[in-house]
Amino acid sequence: RVVMAQYKYGTDEEVTQAQKLITALLARLLLEYPNGSPGLYSCYVDVLCLARERAKAEVVYREAWRKYPGDRRLARVRAIRDLPEP
C-alpha cells in the first residue's frame, strides 16, 4: 500500500517512470509465482490502470478472477477502476 501511494509524488516524468518500474516488478513477480495472490493481482491491475494500460489490466483482471473468483480485493479494484465484470 505504501508503494502504491508513494510513487504518485514527483514530476509527471518521475511518476511515469515509477509506474513503469512497479508494473515491471509486479509482472516479474507473477512470472515467478504464477498463482500469485489476490492482493498481488489487485495491485498489478491497479498500477496498470494508473499507468494507462487498461486493456492489459482487463486481461490480468480476468485471469485473476478465474483463479480467485469472488475475492473481495479483486472486486474492490474492479469497482474502483470501473473494470468490466469477467
Q: What is the pLDDT of residues 54-84, one digit of tens each?
A: 999 999 999 999 999 999 999 999 999 999 9
Taking 60 as the threshold, does the pLDDT of residue 3 lie above it?
Answer: no
Of 17 and 7, more confident: 17
Q: Is residue 74 within 8 Å of residue 64, measured between CB atoms?
A: yes
pLDDT tier at 2, thresholds 50, 70, 90: very low
* DSSP letter assigned to residue 9: -
Of 26 and 8, more confident: 26
pLDDT tier at 86, thresholds 50, 70, 90: confident
User: DSSP of 24-74, one letter per residue?
Assistant: HHHHHHHHHSTT--HHHHHHHHHHHHHTT-HHHHHHHHHHHHHHSTT-HHH
